[in-house]
Chain A
Amino acid sequence: MATWEYSPAPESAALAQLRPSYRPFVDGAFVDGGGEPLKTVNPATEEVLAEVGTASAQDVDTAVAAARRAQETTWGPMRGAERAKYLFRIARIVAERSRELAVLETLDNGKPIRESRDIDVPTASAHLFHHAGWADKLGYAGLGPDPRPVGVVGAVIPWNFPLLMATWKIAPALACGNTVVLKPAETTPLTALVLAEIAAEAGLPAGVLNVLPGAGDVGAALVGHEGLDKVAFTGSTDVGKQIQQRLAGTGRRLTLELGGKAANIVYDDAPIDQAVEGVVDGIFFNQGHVCCAGSRLLVQESIAEEFSELLLRRIETLRVGDPLDKNTDVGAINSRAQLDRIVDLAAAGDAEGAQRWTSSCPLPERGLFFPPTVFSGVEQTMRVAREEIFGPVLSVLTFRTPEEAVAKANNTPYGLSAGIWTEKGAKAMWTAQRLRAGVVWTNTFNRFDPTSPFGGYRESGFGREGGRIGLEAYLDA
């Protein structure tokens, strides 16, 4: 019988309603930024998608001043129930325009449409809905009877979940009565700007939300700005450290969501097939561009061989390619610079003596792609076990006892997430209590929900986003 190949099933790029140029959003209007315009490219083709105006230091001043004005005169004094109306409206419009946003996100970021459609956009909308519900109930959040907004929030977000990260920052900040100046990542500014358009469509008062595209210099100008009351940053640990040093002693609040090198611990009594799925999901979801990715598989020695065989077999079925194809599992690497970093770190794995296995899945001829890759024979001391690769590269280590699993899992400078796979409830609890990680998933991985707080320990940052406790960072209680 002839082999069965799925025919391409591309989503229409026209749905993105892509425009040739986009501009910064300041004080309720799209304005010409004073910075050098940047070009944002489609990583699947390396073609320019649009020209995006960027902010100058002057624009940062203007935006922060507008945010301050809006916070003091309209948004801060507004009743919570009123603020909720705006947030509900934004959440609804995001849901209504979900297909457009999903396609735009996939074009700009390179992630598969399956994920932007099924995860990014619905979760973004869910965050807005969830926090809209909090806006008039802040006094019941257990943070004091009359918590006040902190004021003006400067938010800087990464390129891996451009829309989702924007809503993670904006939704709680606005619900709590703060105003926001947001800087999206240099390589993925588009959905944040459409979100600004949606906010305007929802009638959000001028200055409450400002979006300033640009590179690291704009981010630096923003987080260092004296007019802010709080900085919320998600991104790399290196930049996070710089921001922390910069803000030390200023009295301004700070939350950081940084890198990770999460361990996915598979015990020998795990539900094997589902553990294989969870490990695949843990590292190949979003091309591994996930700060909480399960990039270190810790598998018990007694099942290591069988597990690896099943795992590699499963990875072979992953389809790498055109992100707009609904059948694509792994899309494009977001930028040339990131692809180079992945290539370099993988080469370090070879050099240090780990064994590299690469999926035989064909890669597109053009665009930025990296095949699903697994390193076995990895030891704790190797760079591929210690450094965040931020790509579809899994390192496999083994352990013999639960104590050893915990010791190895914790032996990292990071502490954002971890996974445990066992059918024994007590063992899962025992392990979870000993893992130094902000999120510990049991028999699942990479699940996100607005009601569940997310955040890290150690070099993965501090502060929590989501849930009741996530409100704390945006309230003066």
Chain B
Amino acid sequence: MTTTVPAPRTGSRAAELTDAVRDDASLRRFLHGLPGVDQVGLERRSAALATRSIKKESKLQALDTAISMIDLTTLEGSDTPGKVRSLCAQARRPDPGHPDVPPVAAVCVYPDLAGVAVEALRGSGVTVAAVATAFPSGRSSRAVKLADTALAVDAGASEIDMVIDRGAWLSGRYGQVFDEIVAVRAACGSDDSSRAHLKVILETGELAGYDDVRRAAWLALLAGADVVKTSTGKISPAATLPVVQVLLQSVRDWHRATGERRGVKAAGGIRTAKDAVKHLVAVHEVAGPEWLTPELFRFGASSLLGDLLRQRRTQALGHYESTDRIGNA
């Protein structure tokens, strides 16, 4: 009688992955050979994951974990250095009256403001993420996208959130999407510890269903994405639990095939602590407990932090506090 899950055989699968990216035809064959996603079953499982009851100690732990996984984000045309500095202050110390609250993972800004954020966060341990590649539409030339990336990297951003070319994807030019991710990854710096981490935004709300989401996730992983990310936050639907589930399955399967752990970022539409906890349950049960760390799971959000802080105080104080009692950048 054994009590362990048998270890996956990684060797044969790794060879298959190398083969998959040999040319456009191989890539297409590989992506279309992935197992399908049944919509009804997927959404049913998401609904079941959402019924986990998380309270007391496990809730407190979840709230702090979620805070530490946030990419605190401002992506508006009206962003100013002042706005970014204000956000950075909250990122460093989310709730100054409660110094045990962990800092968030990163601050996410447009490339031209990355330098401001780097300056404001120096020494804090909070990293700077910048969206690049003609975010959010991705509609520009490759030269512009690479220059956009270089702007952010040169300013000191250590994480780059790129968007894929959905036009190329939807017209079936998978090779083009692949090449672009590879090129942006190269623009993130030389392949050592100083290279900026690459998060690839699939903008799942613009893809053709869950099968397509799974294929796009695999393509991004094959091209070297450190993190697969759901959405820009600019279009709806964004990070839904079923879509995040598909991404979590993809990184889990990637790990089974290669032994490497890649990350997932759920971005857009997650505003409440309750919603965030549901995502953590999915991370825990779909990908596995190893993914419950800021290195492997992130929330892209602007207003989520406020609710997490409020819920955290509620757990500690036993009553709801006015939102005005919590600072809000």
Partner of A443 from the list B38, B56, B61 (CB cut-off 8 Å) is B38
In the complex, what residues of B have CB within 8 A of residue A448's CB?
A: none
Closest to A355 in B: B2
Q: How far is the CA of A357 from the CA of B5 in the complex (A)?
A: 9
Whether A274 touches B41, Cβ cut-off 8 Å, given contacts A3-B289, A317-B285, is yes
Q: Is A217 an interface residue (CB 8 A)?
A: no
In the complex, what residues of A have CB within 8 A of residue B55's CB?
A: 7, 9
- Of the candidate stretches A204-212, A265-273, A287-295, the one touching chain B is A265-273
Q: How many residues from A make CB contacts under 8 Å with B? A: 36
Q: How many residues from B make CB contacts under 8 Å with A? A: 37
**Which residues in window 253-299 of A have CB below 8 A to B?**
269-275, 277-278
Cross-chain contact B38 with A274 (CB below 8 angstroms) = yes
In the complex, what residues of B have CB within 8 A of residue A351's CB?
A: none
In the complex, what residues of A have CB within 8 A of residue B62's CB?
A: 4
**Interchain nearest-CB distance for B244 vs A (Å):** 13
Q: How far is the CA of A357 from the CA of B41 in the complex (A)?
A: 26
**Interchain nearest-CB distance for B145 vs A (Å):** 33
Q: Is B45 an interface residue (CB 8 A)?
A: yes
Cross-chain contact A327 with B53 (CB below 8 angstroms) = yes
Cross-chain contact B256 with A309 (CB below 8 angstroms) = yes
**Which residues in window 308-360 of A have CB below 8 A to B?**
308-309, 312-313, 316-317, 326-327, 356-360
In the complex, what residues of A have CB within 8 A of residue B38's CB?
A: 271, 274, 423, 443
Whether A271 touches B41, Cβ cut-off 8 Å, given contacts A7-B55, A358-B3, is yes
**Interchain nearest-CB distance for B127 vs A (Å):** 18
Cross-chain contact A7 with B59 (CB below 8 angstroms) = yes
In the complex, what residues of B have CB within 8 A of residue A118's CB?
A: 51
In the complex, what residues of B have CB within 8 A of residue A326's CB?
A: 51-53
Q: How far is the CA of A183 from the CA of B6 in the complex (A)?
A: 47
In the complex, what residues of B have CB within 8 A of residue A273's CB?
A: 35, 37, 41-42, 45, 249
Q: How far is the CA of A418 from the CA of B102 in the complex (A)?
A: 51
Q: Is A114 an interface residue (CB 8 A)?
A: yes
B4, B38, B40, B256: residue with the most chain A Cβ atoms closer than 10 Å: B38
Cross-chain contact A2 with B61 (CB below 8 angstroms) = yes
Q: How far is the CA of A5 from the CA of B4 in the complex (A)?
A: 20
In the complex, what residues of B have CB within 8 A of residue A444's CB?
A: 40-41
In the complex, what residues of A have CB within 8 A of residue B292's CB?
A: 1, 4
Cross-chain contact A114 with B51 (CB below 8 angstroms) = yes
**Which residues in window 1-36 of A have CB below 8 A to B?**
1-7, 9
Q: Mark A98-119, 1 if CB is under 8 A from B, else 0.
A: 0000000000000000100010
In the complex, what residues of B have CB within 8 A of residue A305's CB?
A: 9
**Interchain nearest-CB distance for A301 vs B (Å):** 16
In the complex, what residues of A have CB within 8 A of residue B4's CB?
A: 360
Q: How far is the CA of A175 from the CA of B26 in the complex (A)?
A: 61
Cross-chain contact A5 with B1 (CB below 8 angstroms) = no
**Which residues in window 276-305 of B have CB below 8 A to A?**
280, 284-285, 289, 292-293
Q: How far is the CA of A312 from the CA of B280 in the complex (A)?
A: 21
Cross-chain contact A358 with B1 (CB below 8 angstroms) = yes
Cross-chain contact A7 with B249 (CB below 8 angstroms) = no
Cross-chain contact A6 with B5 (CB below 8 angstroms) = no
Cross-chain contact B35 with A271 (CB below 8 angstroms) = yes
**Interchain nearest-CB distance for B56 vs A (Å):** 4
Q: Is B65 an interface residue (CB 8 A)?
A: yes
**Which residues in window 98-123 of B have CB below 8 A to A?**
none
Cross-chain contact A7 with B58 (CB below 8 angstroms) = yes
Cross-chain contact B37 with A6 (CB below 8 angstroms) = no
Cross-chain contact A4 with B284 (CB below 8 angstroms) = yes
Q: How far is the CA of A270 from the CA of B55 in the complex (A)?
A: 36
**Interchain nearest-CB distance for A330 vs B (Å):** 14
Q: How far is the CA of A118 from the CA of B54 in the complex (A)?
A: 18
Cross-chain contact A312 with B45 (CB below 8 angstroms) = no
Closest to B52 in A: A327
In the complex, what residues of B have CB within 8 A of residue A3's CB?
A: 289
**Which residues in window 25-70 of B have CB below 8 A to A?**
35-38, 40-42, 44-45, 51-59, 61-62, 65
Cross-chain contact A316 with B5 (CB below 8 angstroms) = yes
Closest to B4 in A: A360
Partner of A309 from the list B5, B36, B57, B59 (CB cut-off 8 Å) is B5
Cross-chain contact A4 with B65 (CB below 8 angstroms) = yes
Whether A271 touches B1, Cβ cut-off 8 Å, given contacts A7-B56, A9-B55, A114-B51, is no
Q: Is B327 an interface residue (CB 8 A)?
A: no
In the complex, what residues of A have CB within 8 A of residue B280's CB?
A: 4
**Interchain nearest-CB distance for A114 vs B (Å):** 7
Whether A270 touches B35, Cβ cut-off 8 Å, given contacts A7-B58, A443-B40, is yes
Q: Is B209 an interface residue (CB 8 A)?
A: no
Cross-chain contact B37 with A274 (CB below 8 angstroms) = yes
Closest to B8 in A: A309
Cross-chain contact A269 with B36 (CB below 8 angstroms) = yes
Q: How far is the CA of A278 from the CA of B45 in the complex (A)?
A: 10
In the complex, what residues of A have CB within 8 A of residue B3's CB?
A: 357-360
In the complex, what residues of B have CB within 8 A of residue A277's CB?
A: 41, 44-45
Whether A278 touches B8, Cβ cut-off 8 Å, given contacts A9-B53, A271-B35, is no
Cross-chain contact A6 with B52 (CB below 8 angstroms) = yes
Partner of B293 from the list A1, A317, A358 (CB cut-off 8 Å) is A1
Whether A7 touches B40, Cβ cut-off 8 Å, given contacts A273-B35, A356-B1, A360-B4, is no
Q: How far is the CA of A358 from the CA of B5 in the complex (A)?
A: 10
Q: How far is the CA of A48 from the CA of B249 in the complex (A)?
A: 44
**Interchain nearest-CB distance for B158 vs A (Å):** 21
**Interchain nearest-CB distance for A307 vs B (Å):** 10
In the complex, what residues of B have CB within 8 A of residue A5's CB?
A: 57-58
Cross-chain contact B53 with A4 (CB below 8 angstroms) = no
**Interchain nearest-CB distance for A356 vs B (Å):** 5
Partner of B5 from the list A1, A9, A312 (CB cut-off 8 Å) is A312
Closest to B256 in A: A309
In the complex, what residues of B have CB within 8 A of residue A423's CB?
A: 36, 38
B5, B42, B59: residue with the most chain A Cβ atoms closer than 10 Å: B5
Q: How far is the CA of A327 from the CA of B51 in the complex (A)?
A: 8
Q: How far is the CA of A236 from the CA of B61 in the complex (A)?
A: 47
In the complex, what residues of B have CB within 8 A of residue A360's CB?
A: 3-4
**Interchain nearest-CB distance for B10 vs A (Å):** 12
**Which residues in window 358-408 of A have CB below 8 A to B?**
358-360
Cross-chain contact B53 with A6 (CB below 8 angstroms) = yes
Partner of B6 from the list A271, A272, A312 (CB cut-off 8 Å) is A312
What are the 8 tightest A-B residue pairs by CB atom distance, in nearest-first order?
A: A274-B41, A9-B53, A271-B38, A274-B38, A272-B35, A326-B53, A7-B58, A360-B3
Return 18 A-B CB contacts under 8 Å, by A number: A1-B292, A9-B55, A269-B35, A270-B35, A270-B36, A271-B36, A273-B35, A273-B41, A274-B37, A274-B40, A274-B42, A277-B41, A309-B8, A312-B5, A327-B52, A358-B3, A423-B36, A444-B40
